[in-house]
Chain A
Amino acid sequence: MTILRKGYPSPAIREKEILRYSGCRVPDESTIALMRSCIDEAQKVLTYEVCYCILPVEIRVDICDFGCFSLTSQGLAKNLSSSTQVVLFAATVGTGLDRLIAKYGRISPSRALMIQALGAERIEALCDEFCKDISTELNTCLAPRFSPGYGDLPLETQRDIFAVLDPSRQIGLTLNDSLLMSPSKSVTAFAGMANECNNTNKCSLCDKTNCNFRRVL
């Protein structure tokens, strides 16, 4: 098994998404100005790094067996039901954003909030970019990515993922005792390789129907 690394240039920014994450449905001029000035400042410190590997997977009822470790999760088993291999990856946009959030958390919470929202949008954009890139490269479809904390997949899964990918060495991504990742704007996920591409709204797969961030089709 090989752990591979990829770096990306900045994916296109989706302002609507940033506003959505900031909790602003109807932005006024000053909110948009705030967002754009945060984007300008953050662009200088953002990095886009991913490390990943390809693992075999065997599903037995709700057990997902990846060879080097296995997990029990109905949600993940369902998500990977049509896959025999998965891409396991860790992605981060770096520590620079955490420094900005810490800085503005102390002196300007509105900027901190907006940079936080930008970080959420950036890491999602990076994951999208990576999945698009890797599915082209491997000539495969990918199931919607599934992360620890989704559905019944426990956060403790992070320990297994970190043991396999060693992302602290690969991309500087670490895990603390509370299972939080640093840098905070990071994602680990399984993406099952599938024969058929499913392009439905990702939110429609989630059971949490009262979520503020739920995308409406």
Chain B
Amino acid sequence: MNFRDFLKDNIIYLDGGLGTLLQSRGLKPGELPERWSISHPEVLQDIHKAYFDAGSNVVCSNTFGANCLKFDKNELEQIVSAAINNVKIARDKSSNTAPKFVALDLGPSGKLLKPLGDLDFEDAVSVFAETVKLGAKYGADLVIIETMNDSYETKAALLAVKENCDLPVLVSNVYGADGKLMTGASPEAMVAMLEGMGVDALGANCSLGPKQLRPVAERLLACASVPVLLKPNAGLPKSVDGKTVFDVTPDEFAEELASLVKSGLRIAGGCCGTTPEYISLLTSKTAGARAIPVTKKNITAVSSYSHAVVFDKEPILIGERINPTGKKRFKQALINNDIDYILSEGINQQEKGVHILDVNVGLPDIDEVSMLKTAVCELQAVIDLPLQIDTANIPAMESAMRRYNGKAMINSVNGKAESMAAVFPLVKKYGGVVVALTLDEGGIPQTAEGRFAIAQKILKTAECYGIDKKDIIFDTLAMTISADSGAASTTLTALNQIKNELGCHTSLGVSNISFGLPSRDGINSTFFALALENGLSAAIMNPYSADMMKVYYSFKALHGMDENCAQYIAAAGSFATVSATNAAPAVKSTEEYRSELQRAIIKGLCEKAGDLTCQLLKSTPPLEIVQNEVIPALNTVGEGFEKKTVYLPQLLMSAEAAKAAFECVKAAMSATSSGTDKGIFVIATVHGDIHDIGKNIVKLLLENYGFNVIDLGKDVPAETVAEAVILRNAPMAGLSALMTTTVPAMEETIKLLREKAPWCKIVVGGAVLTEEYASKIGADKYARDAMETVRYAEKISSDR
């Protein structure tokens, strides 16, 4: 019988623990258990057979850690082939007459993926792909990805399975007592991502006993539309007289799982500490139990590495600010590869309360494929909001979807055959909720009926690709009322019809409605209110607009979605601050600080430094502010730091306040060059090292002092540093390393720079370095701290 058919209407029993049984048969601490498939095949066959005899339908091969990071190619093939063969032999010998299957077991790689660790996502996919290909070659019936404690690595493994075989695939994650994966994902987030990618079943294993895992199982059952599996530990391990014992008895274990089977659990087995006895009791206690049919949950959800955002009654806000259209400063940031600027746009919108971030980095002169991928990776590393990948460039869309850690929102597809043929296969492969624009080859229909008809066509086509209607969100296109006074009404009618007749969710780019009109906020926010009342599920909007936020909170309060109006009241405070800052009271500056702006910088008051600079700009030329206010304040702090009267945190707070002032100055200047440019400074943390706090501190101060810093990030190969220095003809480069083990990488980088860019002065720093060490590895300068780097860079700059 085929596994997928068997899964349809049966309760499936998996096997139990293996590692603990191998230890009792003599596996030594630190010894790799996978090698036992070759050296002790009879032990493995014995254990596998005992599980089949106990009633397991599926037994996992001894390949938990079988990957090319731990074994070379030949040994890996031998291990996988022997491991699968051992299960097959056990299957053939077992007296159990129920259907029996051989599963290729895939455990975690043992490495954490970038950016938290050092394993690249694509490398992780390749690592799993090697094992998957071997598993398929040697005849596994299905793949079980298990004990995964990171959503990103889970995605890499699942992608490897999907791309390299047609076998059914089950995914099981490790949830802690807090109900989350170690890297933060909730059960709902995992369901969204895994179902989006077409998993056959999903669930949880390891870490806890069956009682403690029950809440996780219940949450999975509540939102999953595929069968749910559970493989708990036999409770917690204890050491008794040198032996490992677990605190949940076979009887308690089986009892607990049997009760979950009654609630809908469809696949059950055991993890650490469980034995054939546990499985045997489990099968007997559930004998004759009915397999509860799996129901479709019809939940529209997107997810991040931490949580799912569900489209339901409450409106969803999608922040529109990560988009260069009409934003000079943003365009400049993209051209300069200034990722920090993009990140701060994301973080600021999150603070305003948006639920999803739209990410659009399309500009004619940049490589959108690489930029969109970078932006998505950088944003998801530091912000836990789901992202909306916004591009018309299909390769860019695919590379961003592939790297996305979760189930993304995609913006957009439309009714054109070409668009659907390009976008739907990506949604099917990587998962996603896609925004569908109601336009097609004939343009945007003038009537609501026309837009409705396109929506129907899109749904029908999506179905052919196996994409459920819950994963399509319709945008009925807000068009400016300045060109057509009936535009708003057409959009709203179509929206209402799609919501009520097709039962689909909707989204709008709200601010288009007022294009060409003055004082747009009023029109936008009123239109937003009307659309919400017509059933709008989500809006792509500007969260910095107090008018829009007022509508959002008011709508929720009026519709009983805000208990005691608590959210409205909390937000009302921020509406008020907006007007308060506009009328910033002029505080008399004290003698001590020469001016109020200098005081703000010295005291490290970011917001104030920004506000004061903006005010000053009305009466003072930008460069004068830099020369007469910002630089003197920075010098005061810098000298204090050198004299040890000011400490590092204070120095940094001042530097950040100065940066806020510079941001205002930059925005005020039309020319891209600030005129204070002291030259290019390339900076990087060397290959193999992931510590970048020191590097970031140096960068911030150098920027403050007018250097154009090209930040290559951390763990940067020597070649990349050399390329950047050559490309920009940079006169200076700074290298940072924290670990003794990474100093050789620094030496190698210096060597390469000397060879390829002999003009470049190299300054090094980091915890392990000393003056002596720095000169030994050939650096021009050892800088003890950030200020020393600034002083050195200034010297180089003035010597030029």
Binding site for B on A (CB under 8 A): 1-5, 7, 22-28, 30-31, 34-35, 47, 53-54, 68-69, 94-96, 98-99, 101-103, 105-110, 112-114, 116, 155, 160, 163-164, 168-169, 171-172, 174, 176-180, 182-184
CB distance from A82 to the nearest CB of B (A): 22
A101 neighbours in B (Cβ, 8 Å): 693
- The verdict on B340 contacting chain A, using a C-beta distance below 8 Å, is yes
Indicate if the CB atoms of A69 and B30 lie closer than 8 Å.
yes
User: What 8 A-B pairs have minimum CB-CB distances, sorted nearest first?
Assistant: A110-B652, A172-B182, A103-B382, A163-B30, A2-B244, A24-B647, A178-B688, A176-B118
Indicate if the CB atoms of B115 and A102 lie closer than 8 Å.
yes
Interface residue from B149, B242, B648, B741 paired with A113 (Cβ < 8 Å): B648
Indicate if the CB atoms of A177 and B118 lie closer than 8 Å.
yes
Interface SS, A side: mixed
Indicate if the CB atoms of A30 and B30 lie closer than 8 Å.
no
Indicate if the CB atoms of A68 and B28 lie closer than 8 Å.
yes
CB distance from A12 to the nearest CB of B (A): 21
CB distance from B68 to the nearest CB of A (A): 14
Indicate if the CB atoms of B344 and A54 lie closer than 8 Å.
no
CB distance from B596 to the nearest CB of A (A): 16
A30 with B604, Cβ < 8 A, contacts A23-B649, A106-B343, A107-B347 known: yes
- The verdict on B7 contacting chain A, using a C-beta distance below 8 Å, is no
Binding site for A on B (CB under 8 A): 28-30, 107-108, 110-112, 115-119, 147, 149-150, 176-178, 182-184, 206, 236-239, 242-244, 339-340, 343-344, 347, 381-383, 603-605, 647-650, 652-653, 655-656, 688-693, 696-697, 700, 739-742
A155 neighbours in B (Cβ, 8 Å): 739-741
A-B contact pairs, 12 of them (CB 8 A): A68-B28, A99-B382, A102-B381, A103-B347, A107-B340, A110-B655, A113-B693, A160-B30, A172-B149, A176-B690, A182-B690, A184-B691
Could you tell me the distance between the alpha carbons of A115 and B108 in the complex, rounded to whole angstroms?
A: 29
Interface residue from B178, B652, B688, B696 paired with A177 (Cβ < 8 Å): B688
Could you tell me the distance between the alpha carbons of A88 and B696 in the complex, rounded to whole angstroms?
A: 35
Could you tell me the distance between the alpha carbons of A160 and B28 in the complex, rounded to whole angstroms?
A: 13
B647 neighbours in A (Cβ, 8 Å): 22-27, 31
CB distance from B115 to the nearest CB of A (A): 6
Indicate if the CB atoms of B652 and A113 lie closer than 8 Å.
yes
Indicate if the CB atoms of A4 and B238 lie closer than 8 Å.
yes
CB distance from B77 to the nearest CB of A (A): 23
Could you tell me the distance between the alpha carbons of A114 and B656 in the complex, rounded to whole angstroms?
A: 14
B178 neighbours in A (Cβ, 8 Å): 47
A177 neighbours in B (Cβ, 8 Å): 118, 688
Could you tell me the distance between the alpha carbons of A5 and B233 in the complex, rounded to whole angstroms?
A: 13
Interface residue from B347, B604, B691 paired with A110 (Cβ < 8 Å): B604
Could you tell me the distance between the alpha carbons of A108 and B348 in the complex, rounded to whole angstroms?
A: 13
A68 neighbours in B (Cβ, 8 Å): 28-30
Kindly report which residue of chain A lies nearest to residue B118, judged by CB atoms: A176
Indicate if the CB atoms of A180 and B649 lie closer than 8 Å.
no
Given contact pairs A114-B649, A163-B29, A182-B112, a sample of 20 additional A-B residue pairs in the complex whose CB atoms are under 8 Å apart: A25-B647, A31-B649, A95-B116, A98-B116, A99-B381, A99-B382, A102-B115, A105-B693, A105-B696, A107-B343, A107-B344, A110-B652, A110-B656, A113-B652, A164-B30, A179-B741, A180-B690, A182-B116, A183-B112, A183-B116
Indicate if the CB atoms of A34 and B649 lie closer than 8 Å.
yes
